Amino acid sequence: MKILFAGAGALGSRFGYMLFKNNEDVTFVDSWEEHVENIQNNGLKVIIDDEDLGNYYIPTYRPDQVNSKFDVVFVATKSMQLRAMLEQVKHLFHEDTKIICILNGLGHVQTLKDYIKEENILIGVTVWTSGLGGPGVLNAHGTGKIELKQVKEVNLEKTLELVSRLNNSGLNIKYSDDTFQSIWHKAGLNCVLNTYCTLIDCNINQYGNYVERYFNNDIDIIYNELINEKNSLILERKKLELEYSNILPKLERYVNLVEEQEILKDELINLAKKNAGYSIAKKLLEEAYVEIKNSVTPKFFDNLSDVVKTITNGKYVKVYVNDEIEVEDYLGKIYSIDKLSFGTIEEIYFSLRVSIALMISEEKFPIILDESFVYFDDNRLRSILNYLYSLDNQIIILSSNKREKNLLDFENYDYNFIQL
């Protein structure tokens, strides 16, 4: 039986050495030229459990230097190098070549099916450990075992015969239907342990000894520390619960304040909108006031001055209204209203009211005067009645005496008299 190791690294070298030592026909192929040359020139130097077992001249080549066919092929590369190695050695397979794959990792069956029939694939997992002490030097420790399963169980008897023959060399192979479960188990284990092995520069077997040496004696100390930490955490939790119970009312109050703030924010926005409306209205009113003042006020004061001039028989000819009311006489002299006689003041106020009434509407609406002439003497009253008679408006005079009636009769004015 011709056996090929496609990859003569740590595990490939160890298994190859074990089979070669048991007189099996073993060949190594590898792409590491220095490693290949050292084995060709000096043999594979084997150190097991720190004991130098000598050098073994196992036939070793680069993949392109071999042309014969092999009955069994161990693929012993790194997982990511599997397909590249299969491409280099596929010309060494015959129709019934068995491939044994015990690489770490997952998904190798799919790759192998691209190169060989499914019933010729033996997939497995191992807990053997091994290492290289340099090119051409095997440096391994401890023992191990292999779980193996034929992917498609055809001629299972032959497969079991192969397993038995390989075990004669001490590989400690167990044929198992649980192999795929074991592959997943090791993948998970490697995800954890490889990190620690890298940190302390050892293999998994050495890591087990490291843990036993440095940690088992301290297990009670570690346990007590964990218990103390647990108790501290429980105490801290109770403190946090107490703080939470104290904070909760404040938190609820804060939430309420936030809600109130949102309500006030909405109200503020509405007030801002109203204020904007008021500002616009104020601006429009101010503009209207200015327009009215510029267009109406001059006409109003002209009318007011005409009324005053008429009812005072030309004594006063113009009225000014600023911070106070002032009048100008026919000589051009200007008097503050508080310097005039009471009768004259009443004449001016009467003129002011009549002028406003006449300015309100262009229609000739009635003017109603209720006891408006009490403080006028007959001369002033006569002048006012003459002015009112000249207007086109209907004039209604309400009076408790007949003074107005007598003056109208004296002036021979037409009027209607109603006595109540």
- Pairwise pLDDT comparison (216 vs 386), residue with the higher score: 386
Contacts (Cβ under 8 Å, ≥6 apart) of 144: 126, 127, 128, 129, 172
Give the model's pLDDT for residue 232: 85
Confidence band (pLDDT; 50, 70, 90) for 55?
A: very high
DSSP H stretches of helix in 296-338? 297-311
Q: How far apart are CA 197 and CA 214, in angstroms?
A: 15
Q: What integer pLDDT is reported at residue 375 of this predicted model?
A: 79
Q: Is the dihedral of CA 315, 321, 322, 324 positive or negative?
A: positive
107 versus 351: the higher-pLDDT residue is: 351
72, 100 in Cβ contact below 8 A? yes
How many CB atoms lie under 10 A from the CB of residue 165? Answer: 16
For the 297-410 domain, the top CATH level (class) is alpha beta
Residues in the chain: 420
- Helix, strand or coil, per DSSP, at residue 19: helix
Contact 383, 344 (CB under 8 A): no
**Which of the residues 186, 265, 273, 282 is marked catalytic?**
186
126 DSSP β-pair partners:
146
Q: What is the mean pLDDT of residues 101-112?
A: 79
Q: Where residue 30 falls among pLDDT bands split at 50, 70, 90? A: very high
> Residue 289 — pLDDT band, cuts 50, 70, 90?
low
Here the tokens at position 356 are 């406003």
Bridge partners (DSSP) of residue 134 are 137
pLDDT value for 338: 85
Contact 30, 60 (CB under 8 A): yes
Checking if the pLDDT of 307 tops 90, the result is no
Taking residues 372-398, what's their average pLDDT? Answer: 86
CB atoms within 10 A of CB 100: 23
Measure the CA–CA gap between 335 and 325, rounded to whole angstroms: 9
Q: Where are the domains of the chain?
A: 2-205, 215-295, 297-410
User: Is a pLDDT exceeding 70 seen at residue 353?
Assistant: yes
CA distance 163 to 79: 23
Torsion of CA 66, 70, 72, 74, to 10 degrees: 10
Spatial contact of 389 and 367, defined as CB atoms under 8 Å apart: no
Closest CA relative to residue 101, chosen from 138, 349, 236, 115: 115
Query: Tens of pLDDT along 194-229?
Result: 666 676 666 656 655 655 555 555 556 666 777 788
Nearest to 395 by CA among 417, 375, 420: 417
Domain 2-205 CATH assignment equals 3.40.50.720: yes
233: three-class secondary structure by DSSP: helix
pLDDT above 70 (res 111):
yes
The torsion region of residue 176 among left (phi > 0), alpha (psi -120 to 50) and beta comes to beta
The pTM of this model reads 0.47
Distance CA 137, CA 113 (A): 33
**Is pLDDT at 291 greater than 70 in this prediction?**
no
Looking at residue 57, its pLDDT comes to: 95
Task: Count CB atoms within 10 A of the CB of residue 214.
Answer: 10
The C-alpha angle 157, 159, 164, rounded to 5 degrees, equals: 95
Q: Which pLDDT does position 181 carry in this prediction?
A: 65
The mean pLDDT value for 250-263 works out to 83
pLDDT for 242: 82
Q: Which helix (H) or strand (E) holds 226?
A: helix 219-295
**379/348 Cα distance (integer angstroms):** 15
Taking 80 as the threshold, does the pLDDT of residue 123 lie above it? yes
Between 288 and 409, where is the model more confident? 409
Cα torsion 140, 146, 151, 152 to 10°: value is 130
Task: Please say if 186 is a catalytic residue.
Answer: yes
Residue 147: strand pairing partners: 125, 174
Beta-sheet pairing, 173-175 with 146-150: parallel
User: Binning pLDDT at 50, 70 and 90, where does residue 176 land?
Assistant: confident
Between 80 and 24, the more confident residue is 24
pLDDT band at 340 (very low <50, low <70, confident <90, very high): confident
Among 45-49, 242-246, 410-414, which is the least confidently predicted range?
A: 242-246
Cα gap 281→258, rounded to integer Å? 34
Pull the structure tokens for residue 353.
């009211």
2-205 and 297-410 in the same fold:
yes
For range 387-391, the mean pLDDT: 87
Query: What was the pLDDT predicted at 124?
Result: 83
Higher-pLDDT residue of 21 and 107 is 21
**pLDDT score, position 218:** 55
CA distance 212 to 206: 10
